[in-house]
Structure 1
Amino acid sequence: MSSSALVRLLKSLDPLSPEVSIGDVADRLLTAEHKAFLSLPVVGSDGRPLGLVSRSRLQDIFMQRFGRDLWGRRPVADVMNPEPLIVSLETGLEEAARQITGKLQYPITEDFVLVDRDGRYRGLGTVLDLLKAMEDRIAQRNRVLRKALVELKESQTQLVQSEKMASLGQMVAGVAHELNTPLGYVKNNVQLLRELTGPLFELAEAQSRLAEYLSAPDADEERLATALENAARARERASPESLADDLGQLFDDTLYGLGQIGELVVGLKDFARLDRAMSEEVDLNDCIRSTLVIARNGIKDKAEVVTQLGDLPRIACAPSQINQVLLNLLNNAAQAMEGFGRIQVRSWADRQALYVSVQDNGCGIPPEVQKRIFDPFFTTKPVGKGTGLGLSISFKIIQDHGGSIRVASEVGRGTRFLISLPLGQATTLQRSA
C-alpha cells in the first residue's frame, strides 16, 4: 500500500501559527474537535511544519502553580517540540511504520506530521491509527498466506501421490517380471506333463482291452494276440521305468516354481502391510527381507546384495512407510552402479536406537549434490526419469518416526545411507507424506 494508506490516516487540522499564545492552544485542545489528538501542529508562513505542541507538555505547564499566568500569553514556539515525527505522503505504509516506530518514544505523547513531496504541511496522523492500519495489513496478508498454504499442501499431496503411484508402477512391473519367470517354467512343465502322460493313457487303454479279451469266453487266439501286441507297443512307448524319473523332476520343478510365486505374494503382502495397523510393533529385519524380495528384479542384474542383519528389538512404526524408504534406497543404490556392483544391507541396535545401513560401491555423490539430495524436486536424473521426491519423502517419513537419515559418499567409491529410529519414540506416530 502506498501513500493512499497514509491519506486515510490524515486528519486535516488547522495548523497553529508560531505566534499563537499558549493559553489559546490549551483552550483549543479542550474542544471536542481536538479531543482525539495528543498534539497540535505549528506551521510557518511558508506552509512547512515547525513543530508540535503536545497535550502532555501543556498539562505539565498548567498543573504548575500560577502556570496559566506565567505561560498563558507566551507564544507556542516556546513550548513546541521543534523536531516532530514527519512522514511524507509518498511513503509506503510499511516504511512509514518503520520510521515512526524507530523514533517513537514511550509513553506516546505526540502525533506525527504528514507533508507532501514539497515538504508542506498536509495534516496530522495518529500513531494508533497507523498501527491499526498495519494490523489490518498483516491480517490481510495472513489470509493470503493461509490460502496459499492450503493450496501448497493440496499441491504437495498431489505430487506425493504421483510419486507413490510412480514407485508403485515400478514395483508392480518388477513383481510382474519376477512372477513371469516361475510361471513360465511351471507352464512349460505342465505342457511336458501332458506330453509325457499321453502314452500312459494309451497304455492303460491297451491293457484294458487286453483284460477284456482275456476274460471273454469267446475270444479267439488272433484277437488275443493282437491285443497283446498292442499292449506291448504301448508299454514300449510309455516307458514307465524312465518316465518315473522325468515325472519326479517335473513335479519338483513345478513345486519350486509355485513356491517362488508364493514367496513373492507373501513378500508383496508383507511389503504393503495392507492388513496391518498404521503403527504396530514390528521386526525391522522383516521389513528388510520383504523389501529385498520386491526389489529383487531391479537389483539382480546390477548388483549382488549382501545382508548382515543383527538381532533387533521390535519397534513401533508404520511398516509400509519404512518399506517405502528401504525400497527407494535400494533402487537408488542399484541405479548408481556403472557395472555389476555390490550392495550391503546391515542392521543393528544399541540402547537408544535401531540402525539400518544401505551401502553401495557405485559412482558416489559429489559434495555439492549431497547438500541437496533431500530437497524436494532435486534430482540428477534426466528429465522424465525422476521427480526428485523419493529421498524427500523418505526423509519426511523417517523424521515423522522421530528418527534421522544421513548420507556419506565419496565419488568413485560409493554411498552409504544410515537410518536411525529411536527405541523410546512416542506410541502415536505422525502420519507421513
Structure 2
Amino acid sequence: MFYYGPQIAHARVREKMMMTSQKKYWFLYSVILLLALGIFSLVATWGHSFIGKEIPGYLTQENGVVSPFFSPRWLQIGEKIRYFELSPGLSDKQIIFSMMDYIVIVLFLSVSGLLFVMLGLAVHYFYPPFSSKNILLVINTLAGIYLMLTVDFHLTHKLSYLFLLVTTFLPTLALHFALAYPDHRLNKKQKTVFGAAYFLTSLFYPFYVFAFKTNPELWLKLQMVLMAYVFFSSLFWIGRLFYLLDRPQHDFVKTLSLYLLVGQCLVFLVHLVPAHLLLVNDIFLPLNFFAPLTLLCPAAFFVGLILAKLKQSQWSLVQAERRVTVANLFSGLVHEINNPMTFVYSNIEPVREILGDIKNNLPASAAGLVKKVDVMDGALADMETGANRVRDIINQFRFYSHPGADPSPSSQVILKQSIEGALLMTKPKWKDRIVIENNVNEAMMVMGHSTGLGQLWVNLLSNACDAIEGKGTIRIDAKEVEKGISVFIKDSGKGVPPDVAKRVFDPFFTTKPQGEGTGLGLALCLEIVTKHGGTIDIHSEEGHGCEVVVNFPRR
C-alpha cells in the first residue's frame, strides 16, 4: 500500500490537530507513568531487601528453575551456571547478595524498564495519527514492564504470573503492529486471523501458568516454544519493514521505517547472540547485562521520528512559500482575464437573439441562408461553452488565490446531503457505467461552508470517475473517530503511480490530456480542507484503485 500524506499548506493544521489530540492522552500518559513508577518502586524495594542475604551462587525462579541473571563475581575460575535447568538444591557455596549485586541485577534492569516506558510515551506523543499508534504504545509499555518484572521473576517472586502474562502476549502484539504499520487498516480476513491469534494466546496463558506452577520440566518446553514464537514475530517485523522500504513510500514514512528497522535488527541481535553462545558454544552469559540493550529499539525509532519531523517541517516551509507565490500570480491573472470575458458574456445573448430574428424573418425559399444561420448559432453555442469553461477556470483561480472567500456562512452541514448534491452534479460522468455506494450516515454533520464542501466532493468524485476506465465502483464511507469525522472515497480505478502521487496536490499538475484538466482540482481540495481545519490523505496502489481520506476536526 502506497501512503502519501500531503505535507504542504495544511501541515501546520495537521500539527495543531495532533497537539489538540495529544492533550486527551495526558491522563493516559499519567496512568501509565504512575503504573510504571509503582512497579519500579516495588521491584527496587523488594530487591533491596535481599542485600546481605545468602544465596547459593545463583538465583532461581519461583518454580525452581535456575535464573539466567547473575553476577560474574559469583563464579570461580572455569565455573558455569547452568541456567534454564532445575535447581540442584542447596549448595555448600554461599554468596552474600551485596549492594553491587543489587545495582547490576536489580537497578540495571528496573531502570532500563522505566526508561523503556518513558521512551514509549515520548514516541507515542510525537507519532503521527496512524492506525498503528496505540498498538505501539501498548507494546512499549508492556516491554518496559517486562524488563522491570524480570527482576522480580528471578529474585523475589511476587508478581511472577503478571510477568508470564506480559511474556505471553508481547509477540502477538508485535505481529499485530508489524502488519498495521504504518497506517494499514486490516481487512475482515486479517481481523479474523488476529482475533484468532489473540484468542489462542489467551488459551495458552492458563496452560502455561499451570505448567509453570506444577511441572517445571513441561514449562521449560513451553518456554522454548514461546521463545520460538518471539523470534518468529521479530523476524516477521523485520521482514515487513524491509518490504515497506522496498515499496514506494512518502519520505516521512521511509525515514521512520529505516530507523525502526535498525532498532529492531539490533534488538534481534541482542537476543540472537546470547542464544547462539548458549546453544552452540555452551557459553553462559549474565543476561541481565544484555536485556537492557532492548532500549535500542524505541531509542532508534524516536531518533527517526524526530528526523522525519524535521524533514517534514523543512518541506512544509518550502511548499508554503511556493504556494504564496502562486496565489499572488493567480490574483493578477484572475483580474486580467475576467475583464475581457465580461464583454464576451455580455454579447453572446444579444447575438443569439439577432440570429433568431433573422432566421424567423427569412422566406421559405432561403433554405441555404437558414442553414448558415443554424451553423452560426451552433458556433455561438460553442463559444458559450468555451466561455463557461473559462469562467469555471477563473472561479477556480479566484478560490485558490483567496480560499477564505467562500460566500456561504459556516454552519452544520449534513454530510450525506452535501455528497449527494455533488453526486447529482457529476452524474453525467458516472451514469450507466459506475456503481456508486454512498454509505454515509444521514445523521453525520460537519461544521463548515456548504459551497466549499460541495466543491470538495465534486472535485474528488470527478477525479474518481476519471480514474475508472469502463465500468467500476466508487464507495463512499464516513465514520466518527477520536479527532472528529473521517470520510473515505475509494474507487476501483487504475490507482496512482508513486511518482504521480507525490505531486497530485501541486497546482497545475495534471495527468489528463491537454485541454481536459487544469491541475487545480486536488490543489483546491487541499485548500478547502485546510480552511476547515482538516487534513486530506491519499492511499493508493497502482492497479488497485485509490482511496482519498478527508479528516474533519471535532468542533
Instruction: Tell me whether the two structures share a fold, i.e. TM-score over 0.5.
Output: no
Instruction: Return the structure number with greater relative CO, CA threshold 8 A, min gap 6.
Output: 2
**TM-score relative to the length of structure 2:** 0.28
Select the structure of larger CA radius of gyration.
1
- Larger strand percent: 1
- Larger helix percent: 2
**TM-score relative to the length of structure 1:** 0.36
